[in-house]
């Protein structure tokens, strides 16, 4: 499960085309309610409602507010009546005595319905009437929201941040005003002196919100002050974020904000209006997703992509970057299921081999293949002494062709590559990224010819070069695996694994040789890595041994052509996670 924090339009836009990356059933949204108002006796929850309408396919995606093709006859009639009666059309706050009377959830944000300063569509209004009625019948805001979500056919869980009243009040040179009056009516024109989250000191997160925040969290590209700030002010939320992996998408490109008054509000509240200022405000965030044009140097990992969100294709792209960032900080969960990989066999592991293994594995790593002239020369020498090697005329085209053949097979593909130079790694990584495949750097092969060429096991003895290869592949957009082996003299594999993760590695694929316990040391040293254990994996005993050491998955090498072995290992993997881990309170697919 991954939980999204939503305020304004940022997170709904982020999720607009992201269902293929984040399953709606496993990705709840916690929505800001500091922007809520009571207007003409109806409780309006803009951030909750934008999420509900987006998830149900009803949202007006031109305005990112209200329901598409809605009519506004009631709103127009209210305007005409006010005009005919000579009544002012601005936000009409109810008297101070009324601000704390009536239903608690609407405290400090009650407006008269006269001249209705916020436009409500007719169908939109029906939702507000129903929600207000449910509240008056005794339901909490969380319960009312769940009822409305069910009625709208929303699959994703949507939770208001609290069932207690919290009102975002902007203090300006013209006096205090609710955020909706500041933004909707005045278009953020008044000078801002400070921002208050009235009621936050006595509000608390609901049980549903606390449960949702027990998973990795994504902060969408929302206004840090008025969209995320109210949540952080509530008891229990900041503390929860400090104890779980958190990724944030910056609403800025350096010092240029995408939309809205975030820059003005950040400056007024003492923060630099920029990506750097967001990072300073979000000390609980473990990694960021930044735009490719954002050169901000952060003290935490950053994944870069085009963060424009103008449609579903943009959403999917940014969601994939978010997923990568989550995996980098150890919140990515399972990379493939079943948690069994078929490991590369030189000269044998091509698309046809992967298709044969596919019924039993969740991942198939093709190759290895030599990419540059030094390693291709070494491969020719190895072939001359009767070892099987892939030596196509164009190795990059070969990688592309083989991965294309696996596009619809249903396993996570990967390609194990050998290179002494960086340019071919960039090319191969870009191809792998295009196919959503792993790029696996071979620091494992111990054949003398390949080591002499500067690849394979020799890279373990030169950690700087290996980290450079990892960073090169990661910067090209690939999900990066590194195949390593234990028992190399002078190489402290746990420490090296931690360096590889810092350089951008997502997976450490470790051949444990006769040192199985090193798997546990790697898991401890590199908590952000997805660790795949290899060597001698044949049966329940070997599978359970590696998984007990903390490996996330296991791989099978030479027996990968034997369906009986693959079937037996898969059954053992599934038994471990269904039985042993469930005893510890972890779900079978965790």
Q: How is 6-19 classified by DSSP, letter by letter?
A: E-TTHHHHHHTT-T
- Residue spans of the domains in the chain: they are 3-328, 340-584
User: How many residues are given for the chain?
Assistant: 590
Q: For 93-109, what is each residue's pLDDT tens digit?
A: 999 999 998 899 999 99
Q: What's the rounded Cα separation, in Å, for the pair 195 and 198?
A: 9
The pLDDT mean for the chain works out to 93
Each residue of 251-288: pLDDT tens digit? 999 999 988 899 999 999 999 999 999 999 999 998 99
Contact status, residue 20 vs residue 27, Cβ threshold 8 Å: no
Q: Is the dihedral of CA 404, 409, 412, 415 positive or negative?
A: negative
SS3 of residue 288 by DSSP = strand
- Closest-CA residue to 105 (of 164, 162, 159): 164
Mean pLDDT in residue range 402-413: 94
CA atoms of 87 and 90, how far apart (whole Å): 9
pLDDT at 581 over 70: no
Separation between Cα atoms, residue 270 and residue 256, nearest integer Å: 17
Q: Dig out the tokens for 16 from the structure.
A: 């607009």
Cα gap 275→487, rounded to integer Å: 44
Q: Which residues contact 237 (CB under 8 A, 6 or more apart)?
A: 161, 205, 209, 213, 231
DSSP at 516? T
Residue 331 confidence (pLDDT): 61
Residue 313 burial (CB < 10 Å; 0-12/13-18/19+)?
Answer: exposed
What CATH code would you report for 3-328?
3.40.50.10680
User: Strand, coil or helix: what is 287?
Assistant: strand
Q: Is the pLDDT of residue 580 over 50?
A: no
Q: Render pLDDT for 500-549 as a digit per residue (tens, 0 to 9).
A: 999 999 999 999 999 999 999 999 998 778 999 999 999 999 999 999 99
What is the Cα–Cα distance from 258 to 256, expressed in whole angstroms? 7
3-state secondary structure of 123: helix
* Strand order across the beta sheet in which 110-111 lies: 42-44, 37-39, 110-111
Q: What is the CATH number of domain 340-584?
A: 3.20.20.70
Pairing mode, strands 175-178 and 110-111: unpaired
- pLDDT for 334 equals 57
- Of 345, 364, 470, 488, the C-alpha closest to 419 is 470
Q: Is the peptide bond before 173 cis (omega within 30 degrees of 0)?
A: no
CB-side neighbour CA atoms (13 Å) of 439: 32
Residue 94, pLDDT score: 93
pLDDT at 457: 96
Q: Is the pLDDT of residue 227 over 70?
A: yes
Supply the pLDDT for residue 410. Answer: 87
Start-to-end CA distance of the chain, whole Å, equals 9
Closest CA to 152 of 71, 61, 50, 65: 50
DSSP reduced 3-state for 43: strand
């Amino acid at each position: 499960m991954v939980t999204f924090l939503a305020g304004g339009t940022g997170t709904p836009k982020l999720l607009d085309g992201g269902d293929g990356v984040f399953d709606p059933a496993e990705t709840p949204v916690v929505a800001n309610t500091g922007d809520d108002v009571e207007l003409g006796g109806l409780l309006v929850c803009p951030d909750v409602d934008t999420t509900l309408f987006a998830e149900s396919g009803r949202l007006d995606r031109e305005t990112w507010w209200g329901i598409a093709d809605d009519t506004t006859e009631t709103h127009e009639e209210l305007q005409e009546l006010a005009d005919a009666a000579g009544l002012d059309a601005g936000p009409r706050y109810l008297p101070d005595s009324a601000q704390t009377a009536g239903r608690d959830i609407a405290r400090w944000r009650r407006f008269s319905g006269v001249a209705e300063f916020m436009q409500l569509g007719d169908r939109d209004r029906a939702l507000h009437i129903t929600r207000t009625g449910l509240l008056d019948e005794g339901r909490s805001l969380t319960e009312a929201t769940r009822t409305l979500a069910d009625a709208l056919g929303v699959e994703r869980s949507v939770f208001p941040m609290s069932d207690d009243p919290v009102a975002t009040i902007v203090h300006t040179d013209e006096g205090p005003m609710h955020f909706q009056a500041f933004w909707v009516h005045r278009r953020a024109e008044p000078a801002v002196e400070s921002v208050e989250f009235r009621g936050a000191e006595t509000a608390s997160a609901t049980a549903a919100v606390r449960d949702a925040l027990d998973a990795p969290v994504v902060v969408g590209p929302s206004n840090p002050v008025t969209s995320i700030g109210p949540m952080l002010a509530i008891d229990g939320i900041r503390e929860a974020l400090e104890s779980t992996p958190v990724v944030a998408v910056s609403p800025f490109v350096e010092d240029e904000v995408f939309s809205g008054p975030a820059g003005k509000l950040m400056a007024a509240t003492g923060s630099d209006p920029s990506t750097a200022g967001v990072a300073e405000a979000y000390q609980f965030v473990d990694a960021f997703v930044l735009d490719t044009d954002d050169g901000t140097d952060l003290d935490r990992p950053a994944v870069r992509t085009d963060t424009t969100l103008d449609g579903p294709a943009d959403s999917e792209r940014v969601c994939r970057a978010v997923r990568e960032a989550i995996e980098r900080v150890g919140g990515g969960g399972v990379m493939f299921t079943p948690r069994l990989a078929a490991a590369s066999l030189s000269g044998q592991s091509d698309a046809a081999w992967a298709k044969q293994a596919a019924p039993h594995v969740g991942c198939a790593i093709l190759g290895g293949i030599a990419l540059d002239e030094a390693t291709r020369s070494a491969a020719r020498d190895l072939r001359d002494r009767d070892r099987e090697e892939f030596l196509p005329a164009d190795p990059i085209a070969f990688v592309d062709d083989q991965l294309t053949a696996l596009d619809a097979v249903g396993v996570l593909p990967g390609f194990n590559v050998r290179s002494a130079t960086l340019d071919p790694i960039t090319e191969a990584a870009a191809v792998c990224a295009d196919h959503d495949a792993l790029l696996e750097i071979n620091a494992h092969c111990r054949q003398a010819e390949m080591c002499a060429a500067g690849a394979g096991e020799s890279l373990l003895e030169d950690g700087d070069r290996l980290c450079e290869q990892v960073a090169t592949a990661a910067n090209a957009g690939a999900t990066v695996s590194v195949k390593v082996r234990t028992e190399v003299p002078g190489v402290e594999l746990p420490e090296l694994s931690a360096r590889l993760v810092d350089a951008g590695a997502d997976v450490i694929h470790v051949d444990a040789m006769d040192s199985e316990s090193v798997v546990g040391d790697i898991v401890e040293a590199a908590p952000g890595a997805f660790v795949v254990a290899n060597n001698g994996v044949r049966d329940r005993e070997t599978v359970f041994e590696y998984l007990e050491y903390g490996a996330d998955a296991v791989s099978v090498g030479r027996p990968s052509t034997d369906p009986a072995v693959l079937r037996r290992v898969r059954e053992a993997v599934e038994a471990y996670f269904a039985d042993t881990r469930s005893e510890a309170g972890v779900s079978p697919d965790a």
